[in-house]
Amino acid sequence: MNAPLAITPETPVASAPPLLRIEGLSKHFFVKLGAFGQKSAEVHALDDFTLDIRRGETLSLVGESGCGKSTAGFTILQLYKPSRGRVVYEGVDLATLDEKALRPLRRKLQVVFQDPYSTLNPRMTVGEAVGEPLLYHQRATRVELSSKVEQLLGDVGLSPRFAMRYPHELSGGQRQRVVIARALACGPEFLVCDEAISALDVSVQAQIINLFQDLQERYGLTYLFIAHDLAVVRHISTRVAVMYLGRPAELAPKRSLFSTPLHPYTQALLSAVPEPDPARERTRRRMVLKGDVPSPLDPPSGCRFHTRCPLAIDICRAEVPAWREVLPDHAVACHRVGEAIPVPGA
């Protein structure tokens, strides 16, 4: 096993070999349509997704619901079998492995879901929930178990007495801590956090964000942080990938993305985020996108964003834009990069 490198989120290392290499990953679902399911259609949930996840970084995936960000996370973890493409981890393409061969690798690739209410077995105590993976993966003997559980609970900021409690006795924030402790019990290298803080109250959200950052430092974890709250993403990320309708639109180090967003969709997303500042909010002009995200059953031709894009021209409707590195480490898929966006009334 490779020793995890201690890399702070401020120093992404582009030259080091990536932890995970994702190449052309696609996931299509088949759905039945019509009252009797006589017609079937293909949902393009994820299309041609390529990126490296660097050791020790927090890579955030952002976008609106249905953009494929959770599908990307689940397909990387092989919780969905990819329709096409490769996920290379420790020199092996995970997509070629069967369940049995995947099992020892799953220990290293863990996930924390959004809803801590439905991810814990209501009939297992906290101690049992956290202890189970320790026994399964033979990371503790029965004798060591309670002290290891205690240590893991301490890692996530819970006192040892929580081991005897049941999930219903805990608040949302405490449950999410238990879920994180259970993921840590496996000794992971890579953690997919799928909207892991979205269901929490504002005052508790900040605690869990801090916890994720502390654990990353202590254990050298790599995060794929799936989120829709851009303010949180700006706080926690090393790099950010913006997705739209199953395709990556832009990928950049955090500073570069928030200071120089290149894709019109990224600009629209940033412009839609409210700020806790009444004077600014009253005067600010938003770039409000028209309409809704189109259906992934029948995605638009060419650039999938062209139906809502204020800059769309003929080529955007006809051709899929190439993925280009425009600034250092900052890539975008847009025919119109660099064009100014007309702001109504400005």
Question: Which residues contact other proteins by CB under 8 A?
Answer: 64-65, 171, 173-174, 201-207, 209-210, 213, 228, 230-232, 234-235, 258, 268-282, 284, 286, 288-289, 292-293
Per residue, what are the HEC states of 39-50? EEEEEEEEEEEE
Nearer to other proteins, 89 or 225 (CB): 225
CB 230 to other proteins: min, Å: 6
Q: Write the DSSP string, 270-329.
A: HHH---S-HHHHHHPPP-PPPS-PPPTTSPPSSSTTTTT-TT--HHHHHSPPP-EEEETT
Instruction: Report how far residue 262's alpha carbon sits from residue 265's, in angstroms, rounded to the nearest whole number.
Output: 9
* 244 CB burial (10 A radius; 0-12, 13-18, 19+): buried
Indicate the residue among 117 and 148 with the shorter CB distance to other proteins.
117
Q: Which is nearer to other proteins, 214 or 325 (CB)?
A: 214
Amino acid at the residue 217: E
The enclosing H or E element of 83 equals none
* Nearer to other proteins (CB atom), residue 276 or residue 328: 276
Separation in Å, CA 218 to CA 37, 171, 341: 51, 25, 43
In the complex, the smallest distance separating the C-beta of residue 238 from other proteins, rounded to whole angstroms, is: 12
Report, in Å, the least distance between residue 221 CB and other proteins: 16
Q: Nearest distance from residue 169's CB to other proteins, in Å?
A: 10
CB of 259 to other proteins, least distance (A): 11
Which residue's CB is nearer to other proteins, number 112 or number 289?
289
